[in-house]
Amino acid sequence: MARKPVVVIPSDDPAQCQGSPWTEKLKQRAEVRLFTDRVRDVEEQVRRVQGATAIINSRSYVKWPDEVMARLPDLRFITVCGIGTDAIDKAAARRRGITVSNLPGRTAPVVAEHAFGLMFAVAKRASWYTDQVRAGRWVKKDMVLLQGKTVGVIGAGPIAQKMASLCKAIGMTVLAWTFHPSPERARQMGAEFVALDDLLRRSDVVTLHLPLTDQSRRLLGRREIGLVKPGAILVNTGRGALVDEAAVVEALNSGRLTGAGLDVFEQEPLPLDSAILKCQQVVLTPHVADMTPEGLELLNQGVVENVLAFLDGKPQNIVN
């Protein structure tokens, strides 16, 4: 009897795959090794995945640069639990014959709803007001009426499209920017595609929905954030490194930004001495935009289907 291929989930913390019926289903085809704690260093990471044919990278803080993959001669496949593949050196994986797959659009409604909620929480100053009430201070501060305002959506993929739809439903005007605009994409989003600088100057809310690539890294730097409409709100559920975090802090402290709703950060977990934690006008969540029961299972189903497709010799959702 042929030995089952080995599939490793190297660091499932916070819990993603553990306890899922889809993970149990995968055990019918493969030997599944699931680790529920975080890897402490590269040496431990390599030990955990030695002999693996496939890796399910359930957490993006586990990185796969070329020098790590070079130590894994049996590895042939990596799938991530989501869209972003910035934790993997995809070019190096291709050179080494390792296929990389993702889950495009699987949880778009879930992530877009989270971004929409962050936008509302910032506009209504939910975190700030909660702190004031808890401290016994019955104070008033202007909030932001979103109806009739303009939202600038950066990106045009499934999450961006769903976010645009939610914003239109409450009467917002939608502007959009993407690296690859087209009339068809504009029709799908019901949005006007404009230049990035124009979007920043005109939008009352700027919301980011892009993967992190060499091209998109720090897309919003100090110059771009300086163009943002005074009093605007920034929402980011994409990747922390899409923006210059220090420039965001400066814009919040100066009042250029009236607030920010952030689910992602340049360094995760967010260090306790991070300057963003000192900003009162922010709503922060720990990279959990798709962590609803429905969202988790959609991702678990997707990664198992990716692995099974690869084992059947028909890999899908390939990104390298």
Question: Which residues are the active-site residues?
Answer: 239, 268, 287
The torsion angle over the Cα atoms of residues 50, 52, 54 and 56, rounded to 10 degrees, is: -60
Up-side HSE of residue 149: CA atoms within 13 Å toward CB? 19
| Residues across the chain | 320
Alpha helix ranges (H) inside 13-54 = 21-26, 42-49
Neighbours of 197 (CB within 10 A): 12
Secondary structure of residue 318 in the 3-state scheme: strand
* Residue 243 DSSP symbol: B
CA dist list (Å): 298 to 17, 126, 214, 292: 11, 29, 28, 10
> Do you find a cis peptide bond into 181, omega within 30 degrees of 0?
no
Up-side HSE of residue 102: CA atoms within 13 Å toward CB? 16
Neighbours of 182 (CB within 10 A): 11
Q: Provide the greatest CA pair distance for the chain.
A: 72
Quick one: which of 144, 116, 114 has its CA closest to 129?
Answer: 144
